[in-house]
Amino acid sequence: MTDPKQTQDRVVIFDTTLRDGEQSPGATMTHHEKLEIAALLDEMGVDIIEAGFPIASEGDFEAVSAIAKQAQNAVICGLARANFKDIDRCWEAVRHARRPRIHTFIGTSPLHRAIPNLDMDQMASRIHDTVTHARNLCDNVQWSPMDATRTEHDYLCRVVEIAIKAGATTINIPDTVGYTAPRESAALIAMLLERVPGADSVIFATHCHNDLGMATANSLAAVEAGARQIECTINGLGERAGNTALEEVVMALKVRNDIMPYRTGIDTTKIMNISRKVATVSGFPVQFNKAIVGKNAFAHESGIHQDGMLKNAETFEIMRPTDVGLSESSLPLGKHSGRAALRAKLRDLGYDMAENQLNDTFVRFKALADRKKEVFDDDLVALVQDSTTSA
């Protein structure tokens, strides 16, 4: 790697919640909601916001234009297929941004080449013409060979070289169907950096889908091999099993900076807020055990864990809840909880009990917890009041 860009430790975060994320069936967002999400993304330090697919609908065009006008810091990007009409429409929408980007793509794998019925040479010349056209409009052009991970390596090298020569400034390598695995994801980026002339003059991006649950691992492996842009969405929203989750890659790079020495510009304390917002507006609730943003990501129920947490949070937490914008971890009380957590909770509720009263409450708490999934504050107050009156 000869280009300083490739050796730098800064990883660009490209968020596509409003484009690939919104393509999840049923996740459609209103114009106003998109503007709100874009403002939050901009505020949290996302480098590039893919705001939509301007030719897809009048609504998408309007949303991308409005986001382009509103953005303060982020580059605003729109998606376009490999034809002049799409690219012109995309430019019309993003040109209002302080820092616009056109993202144009075409499927390069054998299965995808068959759809427009182009042979390899015809497709190569389409790529040359469309990237050149985009670059004549905008000096920031991203090009993607869709289904790159199932494209023949020789052909992939050939078309990536054409796109670079035609003026693309970012080359995105999509794992469109979530098919790759970490070692292969890294090898693909390394292969392109080594074989494609001019590869050191552009940024390579990784765009992973989560069909086999490996999107985060694949993205990080690509970074280790030299990619410097990660494409991702809030909560991993996206088609089928979703895209790489922004919160996962960002927190992985922060928490394991000792072994992955790369940094992003994200203010991680804004993560919870935007996660909740995206869940609400998309109508896609976050699964309880989702990494980083799930309801249980900082919750500990078992007695051993709660006792450890009360003594030293690092015993069972690798990051602080405040790092992601939560005020504190939670120690929900259930049948696995122990005396230490019960005592701490009762103290919070204003009950400082003598040992024998605590013992009695603990026995009755366990009996209740066997019948109920979670024991809430009101349940505890009732238990204590009951033990006081029956004493």
What are the residues facing 28 on neighbouring strands?
A: none
If one asks whether residue 242 binds ligand KIV (CB under 6 A), the answer comes out as no
Residues 6+ apart with CB under 8 A from 48: 12, 13, 14, 15, 74, 75, 76, 77, 101, 229
Looking at the Cβ atoms of 105 and 362, the one nearer to Zn ion is 105
CA distance 160 to 157: 5
If one asks whether residue 146 binds ligand KIV (CB under 6 A), the answer comes out as yes
If one asks whether residue 24 binds ligand KIV (CB under 6 A), the answer comes out as no
Handedness of CA 111, 113, 118, 121 (dihedral sign): negative
Residue with tokens 């030299």: 226
DSSP state string for 102-128: EEEEEE-SHHHHTTTT--HHHHHHHHH
Which of 174, 236, 242, 325 touches ligand KIV by CB under 6 A?
A: 174
Binding segment for ligand KIV (CB under 6 A), chosen from 5-13, 133-141, 172-180, 248-256, is 172-180
CA distance 82 to 176: 17
Tell whether residue 119 is among the known ligand binding residues.
no
Looking at the Cβ atoms of 248 and 301, the one nearer to ligand KIV is 248
The footprint of ligand KIV on residues 339-368 (CB under 6 A) is: none
Give the contact letters, 188-227, x = binds to ligand KIV (CB under 6 A), - = no: -------------------x-x------------------
The footprint of Zn ion on residues 5-64 (CB under 5 A) is: 20
What are the residues facing 232 on neighbouring strands?
A: 15
The footprint of ligand KIV on residues 93-112 (CB under 6 A) is: 105
Tell whether residue 243 is among the known ligand binding residues.
yes
The CB-nearest residue to Zn ion is 20
Please report, in range form, the residues annotated as the binding site for Mn(2+): 20, 207, 209, 243
Residues of the shown chain interacting with ligand KIV in the complex, contacts defined by CB under 6 A: 20, 105, 144, 146, 172, 174, 176, 207, 209
Please report, in range form, the residues annotated as the binding site: 20, 207, 209, 243
Residues of the shown chain interacting with Zn ion in the complex, contacts defined by CB under 5 A: 20
